[in-house]
Amino acid sequence: MQGARRTRSRSRLAALFCAIAATMSLTFAGSAFALQDYIDGNQYPHVICGSPSGSCYGQTTGAHTFYLMTGASNYGGTALTCQLLRSGWSSEQHGSGSCSRSYSGSEYNWGRVYNKASWSDYLLGFGTA
């Protein structure tokens, strides 16, 4: 029973993430997705602990010229923060269940998705360069 529920949860998260990606591709219609770097190198939803202090996050595997960082959670009410950062600079956007942060510069930066809720959740996130 628990396995079936977990599979349904992951399927819902994957569907949500596809919807977010489709919306973002329409938003940035002129640009092709040249590179997508998933948080923790994992293209499947995986558990990231919760912490209101924001110490629980997944990070892209490398720094790239990301113009968009997108994240989504399994539970709709999970407080998330999408962040793009480099030395001396950080930009973030908060959301409930999903988040995205865009950037128009050309410098290399890292992408993170924070779980700021007090519970663990399945998260998926990626930076697009």
pLDDT digits (tens, 9 = 90+) for 22-75: 444 444 444 444 689 999 999 888 999 998 888 899 999 999 999 999 999 998
**Would you say 57 and 35 are in contact if contact means Cβ atoms under 8 Å apart?**
no
pLDDT for the residue 18: 52
Give pairs for 12-21: CB < 8 Å, separation 24+.
12/74, 13/45, 13/72, 13/73, 13/74, 13/122, 13/124, 14/45, 14/124, 16/72, 16/97, 16/98, 17/45, 17/70, 17/72, 17/124, 20/70, 20/72, 20/98, 20/100, 21/70
**Would you say 22 and 109 are in contact if contact means Cβ atoms under 8 Å apart?**
no
Number of domains composing the chain: 1
pLDDT for the residue 11: 61
Contacts of 64 (CB under 8 A, 6+ apart): 35, 37, 108, 109, 127, 129
In terms of residue numbers, what domain contains 68?
2-128
Q: Which residue has the higher pLDDT, 26 or 99?
A: 99
Residue 58 sits in a domain whose CATH number is 2.60.120.1300
pLDDT surpassing 70 at residue 13: no
